[in-house]
């Protein structure tokens, strides 16, 4: 379903607050590692699908708040949490760059941001890895003629 490199899910944002793998301390107690990146943005900022796929989760959870998970095929999933509102429902097919929701602060959240995560199979990966996945797979498969210019 996915094609080409994945795209950043926000067009307008303030900063990336937490990097993947950072260990959080809550009330003085070391917690689990952070399994995504937190992108600070204004309330209601539009959130876009990072690539094409099928929405497999679009509902509210206690910790994640309004959560969307997109299955992009080949075991790749992207996760969008703490949304104010969702513009898609479970079972919808979405295209890369399609509006899927709006930045919020639902669930266990301390401010307006998008928690953006990714998985390959059951393994959490740094979502930044998806932005060059076409190039990585081209090298792995020996398709050097399909490499994109990484300097652009």
Q: What are phi and psi of 114, to 5 degrees?
A: -110, 125
Measured CA to CA, the distance from residue 39 to residue 104 in angstroms comes to 11
**Tokens 């995504």, residue?**
36
Taking phi first (over 0 means left), then psi (-120 to 50 degrees means alpha), and beta for anything else, what does residue 21 get?
A: left
Span 125-145, pLDDT tens digits: 999 889 877 666 655 555 545
Q: How many C-beta neighbours within 10 Å does residue 118 have?
A: 25
Residues 15-146, CATH architecture = Distorted Sandwich (2.70)
For 23-37, 48-62, 71-85, which range has the lowest pLDDT when averaged over its residues?
Answer: 23-37
Helix (H, G, I), strand (E, B), or coil: what is residue 100?
strand
């Amino acid at each position: 379903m996915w094609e080409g490199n994945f795209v950043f899910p926000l067009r307008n944002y303030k900063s990336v607050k937490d990097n993947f793998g950072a260990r959080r301390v809550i009330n003085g107690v070391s917690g689990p590692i952070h399994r995504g990146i937190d992108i600070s943005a204004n309330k209601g900022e539009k959130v876009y699908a990072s690539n094409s796929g099928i929405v497999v989760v679009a509902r509210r959870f206690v910790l994640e708040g309004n959560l969307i998970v997109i299955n992009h095929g080949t075991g790749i999933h992207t996760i969008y949490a703490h949304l104010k509102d969702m513009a898609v429902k479970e079972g919808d097919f979405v295209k890369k760059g399609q509006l899927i929701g709006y930045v919020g602060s639902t669930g266990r959240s301390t401010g307006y941001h998008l928690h953006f995560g990714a998985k390959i199979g059951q393994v959490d990966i740094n979502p930044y890895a998806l932005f060059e996945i076409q190039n990585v797979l081209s090298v792995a498969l020996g398709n050097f003629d399909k490499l994109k210019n990484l300097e652009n």
